[in-house]
Amino acid sequence: MGENQATIPLEKICDVVTEWVNSVATLVQPEHIHWCDGSMEEKRIIESQMIARGELIKLNQETFPDCFLARSHPNDVARTEHQTFVCTRDKELAGSNNNWMSPDSAHELMRGLFSGCMQGRTLYVIPYRLGPLSSPYARCGVEITDSPYVVLNMRIMTRMGTDALRRITIDGKFVKGLHSTGDLNSERRYIIHYPEETLVESFGSGYGGNALLAKKCHALRIASWQAREEGWLAEHMLIMGVQNPAGEVRYIAAAFPSACGKTNLAMLTPPTSMPGWKVFTVGDDIAWLHVGDDGRLWAINPEAGYFGVVPGTNRDTNKNAFDMIHAGTIFTNVALTADDEPWWQGRKKNQPIKDWMGNDYVDGAVAAHANSRFTVSASRNPVQSAESNNPMGVPISAIVFGGRRAALAPLVCEAFDWDHGVLMGASLASETTAAATGTTGIVRRDPMAMKPFCGYNLSDYWRHWLKIGRNLKSPPKLFHVNWFRRDTKGHYLWPGFGENLRVIQWMLDRSENRAAATASAIGWMPRVADLNLQGLELEASIMEQLLSVNQSEWLQEIVELREYFKQQDRFPAELELQLQSIETRLVSNNQ
């Protein structure tokens, strides 16, 4: 496909896109229109224009070459889920998990907001491809935006530019994304999806998932809709390769809610006490999963870069990320030091003088915003997998679900079969984080880490998952993990980060049928002796606690899950059956 693509003359390829750009331009009335080609020259021009206007700060070029700092409006620092809508003709299709408006009312509302909104501004046309070149699973989109910050970020996060336009001509279709920062009035902020029109409209925000429309809006909400129609899955998952000392490489996909550890796990540095182990990153946030001809599940990462959480990143927690973000990185909403270095909580070096809003830093105040982020190309990752650009993706041996749970959920647990694993995913809950606006630290249900990103009714989504399982001859094993269990003083019981590889080793060994486990009421679990804990100094009593299943707490969880699932119309009978089995086992196992 690559060769055919290159032979199409550029002047022939833009018709479908040009038509749409022209109609948008009539509505938004920009001063200029710029078609992004993704070139280095274009990057430099946009950077210098933004620097001249004070929208971008050049960081210390000796210690952080080609790095910049951007500050978003203080009311615009995270995704705003209450202003995010899925607008389907039939409300039931969007499900109670999504905010809904009729497509007609949404179009009317957005037309009003977009009307004349780019007067005096440049309209950027960003053609982009999601997925490796020549992959049959790759998809294209075009984002129209008036934000040069969005252009610079999309340039890193997607394969942006002329190649994407060529592919659109071959595909004959693309996802449309129209975005304007508007006046950044938080009352007039909407992120609207029309899956039936493969269209996204976003107004009033310039931040992250609200504005980089290829990411959550296209690659998850619209893509999940398409995936259901076409028989695949679009998931909020990292993809990692793990090589054991024997040189065998296996791949894992893991769904954790926002700011719950995907980037960190995907780039994990093995502990020194696990010599010979290696980890390679395929993706850190989104996976597109297809049933292969061989009956296995295969995954590609649609993205080309990382938009990762900065706070907490250092040599001890995530050395690969720490090294990676010392060049070619856009920092958003971090603090600044006297010598123009970025600063964040947990950086362990230097001191801030300006906080994330650009105000003088006062001791004890918040320096970097909790949801401050780095944008960096995946090619800068020292452990990027060579398979990242494989058009067919990588075969998945294990699917992992996990969240932040101070109590209840054990360190690791394996589903008895696919349907049980789907229930595990559907039951996922986590303490809320700063990745979305609202109160943090409250446990909420976040099925498959997709609550904010599933573009359709969750019950239909679970049915789709069950169906995918039926189509897999060699399904991956499914697991639930919890790195975030705490003691009564609030300290994490498990050291996390690199040490998580110990749990991964057990999961992969299970998928090869070479690790022991015991059956608990909630799934297969390792005994302490079944885990490789060599070189890890952790009291036996803590390990016991991490692997314990408290019967009364779990019975209470079943009650709460029933209550939650009752709110989902069309809840699949197969999952109700799974829930009943757990309950029966809890009562009879007496554990």
Would you say 194 or 277 has its CB closer to ligand GTP? 277
Size, binding site for ligand GTP by CB under 6 A: 21
293-312 residues in contact with ligand SPV (CB under 6 A) are 307
Rounded-to-5 percentages of helix, strand, coil across the chain? 35, 25, 40
| Region binding ligand SPV by CB under 6 A among candidate stretches 104-112, 207-215, 361-369, 492-500 | 207-215
Two tokens, residue 548: 């314990």
Q: Which of 28, 64, 79, 502 binds ligand SPV (CB under 6 A)?
A: 79
Q: What angle do CA 102, 258, 412 make, to 5 degrees?
A: 125
Instruction: Round to whole Å and give the CA distance between 150 and 128.
Output: 13
Answer yes or no whether residue 216 interacts with ligand SPV by CB under 6 A.
yes
Closest approach of Cβ 109 to Mn ion, in Å?
Answer: 27
Phi and psi angles of residue 385, each rounded to the nearest 5 degrees, phi first? -70, 140
Which strands, in side-by-side order, build the sheet including 342-343?
342-343, 335-337, 352-354
Strands 373-377 and 330-332: antiparallel
247-266 residues in contact with ligand GTP (CB under 6 A) are 256, 258-264
Two tokens, residue 420: 């049980």
Q: Which string of x and - marks every residue 285-324 that binds ligand GTP (by CB under 6 A)? A: x----------------------xx-xx----x-------
Question: What is the residue type of 113?
Answer: L
Two tokens, residue 341: 């270095």
Answer yes or no whether residue 115 interacts with ligand GTP by CB under 6 A.
no
Which residues in 153-167 are b (16+ Cβ under 10 Å) and which e?
Answer: bbbbbbbbbbbbbbb
> Is the Cα dihedral 464, 470, 473, 477 positive or negative?
positive
| Region binding Mn ion by CB under 5 A among candidate stretches 190-198, 282-290, 354-362, 458-466 | 282-290
Would you say 306 or 506 has its CB closer to Mn ion? 306
Closest approach of Cβ 217 to ligand GTP, in Å?
Answer: 14
Instruction: Round to whole Å and give the CA distance between 276 and 399.
Output: 23
Chosen from ligand SPV, ligand GTP, Mn ion, none, partner binding at 297 (C-beta under 5 to 8 Å by type): none
Q: Which of 143, 285, 341, 557 binds Mn ion (CB under 5 A)?
A: 285
**Exposed (0-12), middle (13-18) or buried (19+): which is 213, by Cβ within 10 Å?**
buried
- Could you list the active site residues? 260
Closest approach of Cβ 150 to ligand GTP, in Å?
Answer: 17
Strands 278-283 and 249-255: unpaired
Would you say 17 or 233 has its CB closer to Mn ion? 233
| Region binding ligand SPV by CB under 6 A among candidate stretches 63-71, 209-217, 547-555, 565-573 | 209-217
- β-bridge mates for residue 124, sequence order: 34, 145
Answer yes or no whether residue 283 interacts with ligand GTP by CB under 6 A.
no
DSSP, res 48 = H
Instruction: Round to whole Å and give the CA distance between 482 and 293.
Output: 33
224-263 residues in contact with Mn ion (CB under 5 A) are 258
Instruction: Round to whole Å and give the CA distance between 46 and 126.
Output: 13
Chosen from Mn ion, ligand GTP, ligand SPV, none, partner binding at 79 (C-beta under 5 to 8 Å by type): ligand SPV
Answer yes or no whether residue 500 interacts with ligand GTP by CB under 6 A.
yes
CA contacts within 13 A on the Cβ side of 28: 30
Closest approach of Cβ 208 to ligand SPV, in Å?
Answer: 3
Binding site for Mn ion (CB under 5 A): 258, 285
Binding site for ligand SPV (CB under 6 A): 79, 208-209, 215-216, 258, 285, 307, 435
Binding site for ligand GTP (CB under 6 A): 256, 258-264, 284-285, 308-309, 311-312, 317, 435, 483, 492, 496-497, 500
